[in-house]
Amino acid sequence: MIHSSLTQLGAALRAKKISSVELTQSYLDRINQLNPQLNAFITLNPEMSLAQAREADTRFASGKVGALTGIPIAQKDIFCAKGWLTTCGSKMLHNFVSPYDAHVISQFNNAGAVNLGKTNMDEFAMGSSNETSHYGAVKNPWDTARVPGGSSGGTAAAVAARLCAAATGTDTGGSIRQPAALCGISGLKPTYGVVSRYGMIAFASSLDQAGPMGRNAEDLALMMNVMAGFDERDSTSLQRDKEDYTRDLNKPLTGLRIGLPKEFFAEGMGADVAKAVEAAIAEYKKLGAVIVDISLPNSKLSVPVYYVLAPAEASSNLSRFDGVRYGYRAPEYGDLADMYEKSRAQGFGAEVKRRIMIGTYVLSHGYYDAYYLQAQKIRRLIAQDFTEAYKQCDVIMGPTSPSTAFQLGEKGDDPVQMYLSDIYTIAVNLAGLPGMSIPCGFGANDMPVGLQIIGNYFDEARMLNVAHQFQLATDWHSRAPKL
């Protein structure tokens, strides 16, 4: 069962070959066995999970079921879930039990899915390796001496290791796609505003987007059917007609125009990654696609632009964590100002402090115009590059990450090198476009390589079709680490 897709699990549950309680317990047993080795989960609550499973089994008895009813889904620990510890991977929220559900959690609850547990992540989603978590680094299940990517590294590791049927992630600059690539799974970052951010602890509000992570494109489509939709509690949520993201999965790819940006295939990409990506492009040609050479001239500026804008928004969003209302409070302090300073100094980790300081600097008097406003102008140019590119092609493809998973601790002392791990993904967030990563082969040390597919606004159904057809023709997505 652990290697089954969501469609297969749903069919087994409806045919009563297995109950939701049995399925949930089997995943909990596997987590208990492997999580000490991988550190993919922060919080488990078997009583709550099994109670949801029993409720799902009751639904099956009544016949009122959906595609995800009874299926155990893990949730990134950035989503508030009522009655669950919600830490965002930080000491600052080590004791915060949420009194309400995020919109994403509510959607899964309404669909009858089981909340299997909360997955580990980089602290406040700040990182590309899942080494900044207060609860320790997550290990890549393909090689536990290597990182799983970040910030959704716990989710990626859990899906790859078959600790859950599927899971949620969030993507601010590549945090769904990059760990999906490094762990050999599929992950989708939707168009900005398609999935509500209500109850999702904010990092950079104009960039953050929740999305699904699973074994294949069909699983992602089923999850998007649940996750997407308008939410009046989120001012950036888009009011659109409900979509069926599975509708185009089986369309042929004949005539599909694939844009290959010359900037993505320049210096910086590992030879092993290039080989796997080129082989994937060749497979798409066999499926009837046409290759178009394009250019995204301003994409090279995406990393510096991101590391002005994201820290600026983070410095504002994280100002609420001050030791007053909830979360960590320093045990000893003199006055109110001292409590603020000590609570934040002790509650935040080094990477979060670094980004808060950068953000406060670029927003300060005298630097706002020079840095923040300039970055916003370049952000617009980056988005315009994509608009021009889509006049020539239907989807854009390239590598997700410049390398396969690197060693734990390898880049910890060099933040710039760590930031460059997201060089191919950040532009997508700056433009608000949908992007996804699917497995396309293996590189050095037999570590997974991800192919990135970037679509035009609201083109998720086409992207899922493009990914699904590739996965029907190859088996990279079905390979699992030996644990």
Res 2 pLDDT > 90: no
Instruction: Write the CATH number of the domain with boundaries 6-249+455-476.
Output: 3.90.1300.10
> Is residue 436 within 8 Å of residue 470, measured between CB atoms?
no
How many whole angstroms separate alpha carbon 287 and alpha carbon 283? 6
pLDDT bucket at 61, cuts 50 / 70 / 90: confident
Identify the pLDDT of residue 412.
Answer: 79
Identify the pLDDT of residue 58.
Answer: 95
CA–CA distances in Å: residue 248 to residues 290, 421, 466: 19, 32, 9
Widest pairwise Cα distance in the chain: 70
Identify the pLDDT of residue 365.
Answer: 87
Identify the pLDDT of residue 276.
Answer: 98
Res 268 pLDDT > 90: no
The shares of helix, strand and coil residues in the chain, as percent rounded to the nearest 5, are: 45, 15, 45
244 class by beta-carbon count within 10 Å (0-12 exposed, 13-18 middle, 19+ buried)? exposed
Catalytic residue among 20, 49, 76, 91: 76
Residue 61, C-beta contacts closer than 8 angstroms, at least 6 positions apart? none
Catalytic residue among 128, 151, 196, 237: 151
Token digits of residue 81: 């879930």
76 catalytically annotated: yes
The CB-side HSE value for 124 (13 A sphere, CA atoms) comes to 27
Res 62 pLDDT > 90: no
Average pLDDT over residues 369-387: 96
Q: With H, G, I as helix, E, B as strand and everything else as coil, classify residue 418.
A: helix
Q: Tokens 């790859």 correspond to what residue? A: 160
pLDDT digits (tens, 9 = 90+) for 192-239: 999 999 999 999 999 999 999 999 999 999 999 999 999 999 999 999
Kindly list the domain boundaries of the chain, sorted by start residue: 6-249+455-476, 303-376
pLDDT digits (tens, 9 = 90+) for 142-167: 999 999 999 999 999 999 999 999 99
Residue 279, C-beta contacts closer than 8 angstroms, at least 6 positions apart? 440, 441
175 catalytically annotated: yes
342 catalytically annotated: no
> Is residue 395 within 8 Å of residue 462, measured between CB atoms?
yes
How many whole angstroms separate alpha carbon 37 and alpha carbon 230? 39
Identify the pLDDT of residue 418.
Answer: 85
Catalytic residue among 5, 133, 175, 437: 175
pLDDT digits (tens, 9 = 90+) for 305-332: 999 999 999 999 999 999 998 999 999 9
**Report field, pTM of the whole predicted structure over 0.85:** yes
Strands lying side by side in the sheet with 72-76:
41-43, 114-119, 72-76, 166-171, 209-214, 186-189, 435-442, 448-455, 395-399, 257-261, 290-294
Identify the pLDDT of residue 416.
Answer: 78
> Is residue 149 within 8 Å of residue 128, measured between CB atoms?
yes
Res 453 pLDDT > 90: yes
Residue 223 DSSP symbol: H
How many whole angstroms separate alpha carbon 91 and alpha carbon 98? 15
pLDDT digits (tens, 9 = 90+) for 81-126: 999 999 999 999 999 999 999 999 999 999 999 999 999 999 999 9
> Is residue 360 within 8 Å of residue 223, measured between CB atoms?
no
How many whole angstroms separate alpha carbon 423 and alpha carbon 261? 13
